[in-house]
């Protein structure tokens, strides 16, 4: 029997979008050294009251070095049949290196936990038929999420993974035994949804390929962001604004190949007045970005931490209606909704600051330390 | 023939206030008020009164009032007074009944059935007095994507010509000849001051107004009046007029009396001759012909100007719009059934076309389904009455709107629907020099600027209330709309949910 109970649906009341407020945390060792989840769990737990127990999650990069070349799929199953159908589909299209149940700690009290499995996959050359593997993987993820009742891919990148569910983030961490994992880049999310009874798939981070997004806010431009993305074949099945952010980034950076700085200027563009004051070439670029991609402007209060392999970025809306603090200590780079959470795990900081609205803070792997880039040099409205 | 038409209005003159100054005699262009020589008293030929209120507002002692004649027919839902009187008028004239302005029929006004959203608790509303609030809009064709060089961030894509407007409201096509030069001047100056555009309509542009070219949309219509290389090159946008909401499917007729020497020179026709615009453009019998005219105009202006195509909103507007986009147009202007005109057959004005709200929704949806919405800008026209209508049009999917009637009302028009008579007492829709001087372009421009300023302040407040600070975040964002009192089918076409859902 297909299970459609309210606890297993995102946005069950068909609201315009899922509305939630949240706590965010991100930490990265830009030298690439891996570290356990211990600190980020403490940090996100420190912001307990910013979430309400209906969603928590983590993304970890550098997670599966042994299988670094394979797409790591994390799946939620609401029933047995969903697993059978999904595995059939995966076997048909991929070479499956490993399939296993994600280890959990059954002593942790969480409700409505689905079946949790992971697979390491390589697309069959025959199924690819010359197409880029990433496009193929996206298509299969969408296919599973929209066509197989009760199955949901919540992580699909290489050498990274998302762990999430409908509980406080610290409980999710214990449930998934995250202290036992190591990565060089972690992001975490505690969620306060106003209209979801707690479907595990609705928690953050939201993921597609190796992109993850954790998000605090409500995108008031959601309606048009979504309609614009639909023109490019993205089906926004989850009806959440976070999903829209992930697809927007995928469209801009992977498909349209825009550099991160340009993509950021689409999501949180400079005001026209500021654009008028830029030097000619820059002005032309920013004007063109806004003119062409105006429908992807993320309007309304938000803070996001967007990560992919080797890179983590924090960004707020252009008048900064949601909080974000950035900090550095040696090779460590932190992003958080509250500075206190950073100080908890790293009391001594080289630098801690509140980035300007719409101005991305970016950390990249490699020789360079943290790059705090002002894609928009001028100060934004609210400081 | 004795007329069987009753008087429409009563001109009430309060004898205690009237000082016999004859202002009303001079102001009335419909030959109503006169001095009765025998009685030496100002009187009224009420049968001529059209209810335009010119005399009422200019009477220095406010001695006048105009009232509807309370003449009752026996009640009949079918044979209503207007229908009876139209038949009488036709029985006495034997012709097509002409009228002016937009339809006065009660076609559903969907603006009034759509309500807007506002932020509460989960996101803050934005106060436009404290935070930037952006209304700027770029009209023109947009590419599907941009190419930006990594590292140097150099823009590699060359954009088609884009025209910025600071308020998403343009002045609709009002042709010189139909309206006076002073009206054109008022519109041009107001558009310039507000950073928007006015549309010449199909009568060309008077040389004196060439200096406002950067804020002008030059129209090319079926009569090709006043179209020459200078005209094409002086404007900012070119617009091919295929149809008009008030009279889809038919042409136009400017009577010879309105073709003064100046109008004649501008339109490039002999003075005093009727200016007849054919119903179709005779070089456009099909979509590929349109494509040719579009590229001819682009070629003639060296690809420096976006080309707009204006159509009346009709049943297949969505499919037609898709064809227009593919034919190379950069802008599509849609004019709904409530759009106005200087003169049109009443039966066509009142019965042909579809409401603009449904047309915007259908066209925007179709262009998105086909993945070509970004290739064109969409301008909606036909019955935009206030800033609420503007913002709803944009939320449904328009980039900007045209206003015609609202602009004329700002200049004094009282929507008396006599534009076709050439006697407009407000000096708007006439070329009678005695009347046209009633519009002072300085004051006219000021009134129009005030109107646009007021509307844009209101739009900013509403945008801020919805929690967005840039107009592009509302464009096509139908989640900020809800319907009240609409059927499922209407909601589906509009792409909005019912209020409460
Ligand atoms: S000015 Fe207008 S309202 Fe006054 S009498 Fe003449 S037609 Fe009637
Ligand atoms: S433009 Fe003049 S004639 Fe036409 S409706 Fe307005 S006031 Fe009446």
Task: Decide which of B64, B95, B126 is a domain's last residue.
Answer: B95
Beta-strand ranges (E) seen in B255-330 are: 275-277, 307-312
Provide the pLDDT for residue A20. 65
Q: Best interface-test mutation with A: which of B117, B120, B122 has the largest number of A CBs within 10 A?
A: B122
Residue B472: closest C-alpha in chain A: A294
Provide the pLDDT for residue B232. 97
What ipTM was estimated for this complex?
0.91
Contact A281 B155 (CB under 8 A): yes
Model confidence band, residue A13 (pLDDT cutoffs 50, 70, 90): low
Does residue B48 come out as left (phi exceeding 0), alpha (psi in the -120 to 50 range) or beta?
Answer: alpha
- A332-336 and A351-353 as β-strands: parallel, antiparallel, unpaired? unpaired
The domain defined by A20-380 folds into: 3.60.20
Please state the domain count of chain B: 2
Beta-strand ranges (E) seen in B129-211 are: 137-139, 163-165, 169-171, 198-199
In a domain? residue B245: yes
Q: Which sign does the torsion angle of CA A186, A375, A233, A21 carry?
A: positive
Element of type H or E holding B303? none
Higher-confidence residue of A138 and B33: namely B33
Atom 1 of ligand 1 has which residue's CA nearest to it? B28
Per residue in A181-214, pLDDT tens? Answer: 999 999 999 988 766 566 788 888 999 899 999 9
Of A256, A297, A300, the CB nearest to B123: A300
In a domain? residue B154: no
Give the distance from CA B423 to its chain's centroid.
Answer: 20
Please check the confidence at residue A381 and state whether its pLDDT lies above 70: no
B478 Cβ under 8 Å from any chain A Cβ = yes
Kindly give the distance from the C-alpha atom of residue B318 to the centroid of ligand 1, in angstroms, as a whole number: 43
Residue B355 belongs to a domain with what CATH number?
A: 3.20.20.70
Kindly give the distance from the C-alpha atom of residue B190 to the centroid of ligand 2, in angstroms, as a whole number: 20
DSSP string, B77-91: SSS-HHHHHHHHHHH
Alpha helices in B345-501 (DSSP H): 346-351, 356-369, 387-396, 405-411, 433-436, 441-465, 488-494
Residues with CB under 6 A from ligand 1: B 11, 27-28, 30, 32-33, 49-55, 66, 425
Q: Best interface-test mutation with A: which of B129, B131, B132 has the largest number of A CBs within 10 A?
A: B132
Model confidence band, residue A116 (pLDDT cutoffs 50, 70, 90): very high
Please check the confidence at residue A371 and state whether its pLDDT lies above 60: no
Backbone angles phi, psi at A92, to 5 degrees: -65, -35
The C-alpha atoms of residue B159 and residue A87 are separated, in whole angstroms, by: 47
Contact A259 B148 (CB under 8 A): yes
Provide the pLDDT for residue A238. 67
Cβ-Cβ contacts under 8 Å, A382 against chain B = 131
Q: Are residues B189 and B85 in the same domain?
A: no
Residue A294: closest C-alpha in chain B: B472
Domain extent, residue B69, equals: 9-95
In a domain? residue B101: no
Per residue in A332-365, pLDDT tens? Answer: 999 999 999 999 999 999 999 999 999 999 999 9
Kindly give the distance from the C-alpha atom of residue B423 to the centroid of ligand 2, in angstroms, as a whole number: 9
Q: Are residues B388 and B279 in the same domain?
A: yes
B119 Cβ under 8 Å from any chain A Cβ = yes
In a domain? residue B248: yes
B146 Cβ under 8 Å from any chain A Cβ = yes
Cα-based angle A79, A81, A84 (whole degrees, multiple of 5): 120
Does residue A256 contact residue B145 with C-beta atoms inside 8 Å? Answer: yes
Query: How many CB pairs lie under 8 A apart between chains A and B?
Result: 127
Model confidence band, residue A145 (pLDDT cutoffs 50, 70, 90): confident
In a domain? residue B103: no
Atom 6 of ligand 1 has which residue's CA nearest to it? B28
In a domain? residue B112: no
Give the distance from CA B164 to its chain's centroid.
Answer: 20
Nearest to A357 by CA among A380, A326, A334: A380
Q: Which of B342, B417, B435, B436 to mutate to test the pocket of ligand 2 (most atoms within 8 A of CB)?
A: B417
Cβ-Cβ contacts under 8 Å, B482 against chain A = none
Provide the pLDDT for residue A376. 34
Of A223, A272, A284, the CB nearest to B136: A272
Does residue A172 contact residue A164 with C-beta atoms inside 8 Å? Answer: yes
Q: Are residues B77 and B192 in the same domain?
A: no
Does residue A309 contact residue A211 with C-beta atoms inside 8 Å? Answer: no
Contact A232 B368 (CB under 8 A): no
The C-alpha atoms of residue B189 and residue B181 are separated, in whole angstroms, by: 12
B127 Cβ under 8 Å from any chain A Cβ = no
Does residue A293 come out as left (phi exceeding 0), alpha (psi in the -120 to 50 range) or beta?
Answer: alpha
The C-alpha atoms of residue A307 and residue A362 are separated, in whole angstroms, by: 10
Bridge partners of A214, per DSSP, are A305
- HSE (side-chain half, CA atoms, 13 Å) at A199: 26
Cβ-Cβ contacts under 8 Å, B154 against chain A = 281, 285
Residues in chain B: 501
Residues 6+ apart with CB under 8 A from B264: B270, B271, B272, B273
In a domain? residue B88: yes
Q: How far is B123 from chain A (nearest CA, A)?
A: 6
Kindly give the distance from the C-alpha atom of residue B30 to the centroid of ligand 1, in angstroms, as a whole number: 7
Interval A233-258 mean pLDDT: 85
Please check the confidence at residue A5 and state whether its pLDDT lies above 60: no
Does residue B349 contact residue B480 with C-beta atoms inside 8 Å? Answer: no
Atom 2 of ligand 2 has which residue's CA nearest to it? B424
Contact B474 A224 (CB under 8 A): yes
The C-alpha atoms of residue B114 and residue A190 are separated, in whole angstroms, by: 37
Label residue B55 exposed, middle or buried (CB < 10 Å: 0-12, 13-18, 19+). Answer: buried
List active site positions of A. Answer: 22
Atom 7 of ligand 2 has which residue's CA nearest to it? B413
Provide the pLDDT for residue B19. 96
Q: Name the packing angle between helices A260-267 and A241-249 (round to 10°).
A: 150
Please check the confidence at residue A99 and state whether its pLDDT lies above 90: yes
- Cβ neighbours, 10 Å, residue A80: 10
Beta-strand ranges (E) seen in A109-235 are: 115-123, 151-155, 160-165, 182-183, 185-193, 206-208, 211-217
Contact A218 B122 (CB under 8 A): yes
Residue B474: closest C-alpha in chain A: A221
Per residue in B146-202, pLDDT tens? Answer: 999 998 999 999 999 999 999 999 999 999 999 999 999 999 999 999 999 999 999
Residue B156: closest C-alpha in chain A: A285
Blockwise average pLDDT, block size 10, chain B, 501 residues: 94 96 97 95 96 97 96 95 96 95 95 95 89 96 96 94 98 95 97 98 96 98 95 97 95 87 94 91 92 97 98 97 97 97 95 98 97 96 97 98 98 96 95 94 98 98 95 96 97 96 88
Provide the pLDDT for residue A369. 44
Q: Which of B23, B26, B56 to mutate to test the pocket of ligand 1 (most atoms within 8 A of CB)?
A: B56
Contact A300 B148 (CB under 8 A): no
Q: Are residues B185 and B81 in the same domain?
A: no
Model confidence band, residue A58 (pLDDT cutoffs 50, 70, 90): very high
Q: Are residues B455 and B339 in the same domain?
A: yes
Model confidence band, residue A377 (pLDDT cutoffs 50, 70, 90): very low
Contact B468 A299 (CB under 8 A): yes
Residue B131: closest C-alpha in chain A: A381
Contact A231 B131 (CB under 8 A): no
Cβ-Cβ contacts under 8 Å, A291 against chain B = 138, 142, 159, 162
Interval A259-269 mean pLDDT: 93
Kindly give the distance from the C-alpha atom of residue B413 to the centroid of ligand 2, in angstroms, as a whole number: 5
What six digits make up the tokens of A375?
A: 């894609």
Q: Are residues B57 and B180 in the same domain?
A: no
**Mean pLDDT of all residues in chain A?**
88
Looking at residue A18, what DSSP letter applies? B
Q: Are residues B81 and B193 in the same domain?
A: no
Provide the pLDDT for residue A196. 59
Q: How far is B150 from chain A (nearest CA, A)?
A: 5
Label residue B83 exposed, middle or buried (CB < 10 Å: 0-12, 13-18, 19+). Answer: exposed
Contact A291 B159 (CB under 8 A): yes
Question: Which residue is listed with tokens 């009477």?
Answer: B59
Cβ-Cβ contacts under 8 Å, B468 against chain A = 220-221, 299-300
Please check the confidence at residue A111 and state whether its pLDDT lies above 90: no
The C-alpha atoms of residue B463 and residue A273 are separated, in whole angstroms, by: 18
B469-498 CB burial, b ≥16 within 10 A, e <16: bbbbbbbbbbbbbbbeebeeebbebbbbbe
In a domain? residue B1: no
- HSE (side-chain half, CA atoms, 13 Å) at B213: 11
Kindly give the distance from the C-alpha atom of residue B21 to the centroid of ligand 1, in angstroms, as a whole number: 16
Helices (H) and strands (E) counted in chain A, each on its own, are 11, 19
Q: How far is A124 from chain B (nearest CA, A)?
A: 31
B475 Cβ under 8 Å from any chain A Cβ = yes
Q: Best interface-test mutation with B: which of A234, A299, A319, A379 has the largest number of B CBs within 10 A?
A: A299
The C-alpha atoms of residue B349 and residue B367 are separated, in whole angstroms, by: 28
- DSSP, collapsed to helix, strand or coil, labels residue B70 as coil
Q: How far is B132 from chain A (nearest CA, A)?
A: 7
DSSP string, B407-423: HHHHHT----S-GGGT-
Provide the pLDDT for residue A239. 67
Provide the pLDDT for residue A378. 32
Instruction: Answer whether B52 contacts ligand 2 (Cβ < 6 A).
Output: yes
Residue B35 belongs to a domain with what CATH number?
A: 3.30.70.20
Provide the pLDDT for residue A2. 37
């Amino acid at each position: 029997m297909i299970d459609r109970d309210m606890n297993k649906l995102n946005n069950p009341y068909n609201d315009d979008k899922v509305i939630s407020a949240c706590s965010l945390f991100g930490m990265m060792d830009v030298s690439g050294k891996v570290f356990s989840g211990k600190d980020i769990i403490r940090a996100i737990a420190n912001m307990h009251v910013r979430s309400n127990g209906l969603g928590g999650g983590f993304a970890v990069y550098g997670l599966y070095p042994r299988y670094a070349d394979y797409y790591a799929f994390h799946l939620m199953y609401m029933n047995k049949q969903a697993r059978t159908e999904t595995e059939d589909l995966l076997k048909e299209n991929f070479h499956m290196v490993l399939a296993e149940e994600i280890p959990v700690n059954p002593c942790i009290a969480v409700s409505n936990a689905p079946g949790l499995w992971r697979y390491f996959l390589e697309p069959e050359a025959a199924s690819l038929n010359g197409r880029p593997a990433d496009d193929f993987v996206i298509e299969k993820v969408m296919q599973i999420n929209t066509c197989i009742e009760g199955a949901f891919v919540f992580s699909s990148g290489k050498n990274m993974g998302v762990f999430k569910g409908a509980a406080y983030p610290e409980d999710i961490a214990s449930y998934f035994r995250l202290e036992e994992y190591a990565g060089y880049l972690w992001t975490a999310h505690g969620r306060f949804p106003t209209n979801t009874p707690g479907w595990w798939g609705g928690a953050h981070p939201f993921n597609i390929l190796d992109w993850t997004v954790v998000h605090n806010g409500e995108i008031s431009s959601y309606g048009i962001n979504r309609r614009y993305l639909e023109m490019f074949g993205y089906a926004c099945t989850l009806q959440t604004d976070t999903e829209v952010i992930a697809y927007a980034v995928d469209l801009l950076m992977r498909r349209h190949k825009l550099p991160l700085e340009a993509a950021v200027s689409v999501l949180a563009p400079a005001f026209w007045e500021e654009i008028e004051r830029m030097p000619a070439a820059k002005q032309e670029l920013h004007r063109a970005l806004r003119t062409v991609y105006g429908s992807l402007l993320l309007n309304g209060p938000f803070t996001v931490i967007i990560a992919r392999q080797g890179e983590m970025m924090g960004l707020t809306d252009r008048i900064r209606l949601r909080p974000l603090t950035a900090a550095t200590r040696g090779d460590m780079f932190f992003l958080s909704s509250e500075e206190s959470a950073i100080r908890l795990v790293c009391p001594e900081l080289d630098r801690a600051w509140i980035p300007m609205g719409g101005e991305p803070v970016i950390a990249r792997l490699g020789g360079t330390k943290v790059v705090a880039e002002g894609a928009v040099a001028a100060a934004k409205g609210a400081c | 023939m004795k007329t069987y038409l009753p008087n429409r209005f009563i001109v009430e003159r309060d004898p205690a206030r009237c000082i016999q100054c004859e202002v009303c005699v001079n102001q009335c262009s419909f030959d109503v008020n006169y001095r009765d020589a025998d009685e030496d008293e100002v009187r009224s030929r009420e049968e001529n009164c059209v209810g335009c209120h010119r005399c009422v507002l200019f009477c220095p002692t406010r001695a006048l009032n105009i009232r509807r004649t309370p003449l009752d027919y026996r009640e009949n839902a079918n044979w209503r007074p207007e229908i009876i009187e139209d038949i009488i008028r036709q029985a006495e004239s034997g012709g097509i009944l002409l009228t002016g302005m937009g339809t006065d029929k009660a076609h559903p006004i969907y603006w009034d059935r759509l309500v807007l959203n506002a932020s509460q608790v989960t996101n803050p509303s934005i106060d436009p007095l404290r935070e930037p609030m952006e209304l700027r809009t770029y009209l023109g064709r947009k590419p599907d994507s941009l190419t930006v060089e990594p590292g140097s961030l150099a823009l590699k894509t060359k954009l088609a010509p884009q025209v910025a407007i600071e308020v998403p409201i343009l002045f609709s096509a009002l042709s010189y000849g139909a309206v006076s030069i002073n009206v054109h001047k008022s519109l041009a100056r107001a558009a310039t001051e507000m950073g928007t555009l006015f549309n010449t309509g199909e009568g060309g542009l008077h040389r004196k107004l060439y200096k406002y070219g950067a804020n002008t949309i030059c129209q090319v219509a079926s009569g090709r009046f006043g179209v020459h290389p200078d005209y094409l090159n002086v404007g900012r946008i070119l617009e091919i007029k295929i149809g008009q909401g008030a009279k889809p499917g038919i042409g136009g007729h400017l009577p010879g009396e309105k073709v003064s020497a100046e109008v004649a020179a501008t339109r490039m026709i002999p003075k005093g001759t009727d200016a007849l615009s054919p119903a179709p453009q005779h070089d456009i019998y099909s979509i590929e012909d349109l494509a040719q005219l579009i590229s001819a105009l682009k070629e003639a202006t060296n690809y420096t100007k976006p080309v707009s195509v204006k159509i009346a909103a009709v049943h297949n507007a969505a499919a037609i719009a898709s064809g227009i986009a593919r034919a190379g147009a950069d802008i599509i202007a849609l004019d709904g059934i409530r759009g106005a005109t200087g003169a049109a057959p009443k039966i066509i004005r009142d019965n042909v076309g579809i409401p603009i709200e449904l047309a915007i929704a259908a066209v925007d949806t179709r262009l998105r389904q086909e993945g070509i919405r970004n290739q064109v800008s969409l301008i909606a026209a036909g019955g935009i009455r206030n800033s609420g209508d503007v913002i709803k049009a944009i939320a449904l999917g328009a980039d900007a709107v045209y206003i015609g009637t609202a602009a004329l009302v700002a200049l004094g028009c009282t929507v008396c629907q006599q534009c076709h008579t050439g006697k407009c007492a407000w000096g708007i829709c006439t070329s009678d020099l005695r009347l046209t001087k009633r519009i002072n372009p300085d004051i006219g421009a000021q009134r129009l600027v005030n109107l646009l300023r007021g509307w844009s302040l209101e739009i900013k407040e509403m945008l801020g209330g919805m929690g967005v600070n840039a107009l592009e975040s509302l464009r096509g964002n139908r989640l900020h709309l809800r319907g009240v009192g609409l059927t499922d089918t209407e909601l589906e076409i509009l792409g909005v949910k019912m209020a409460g859902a």
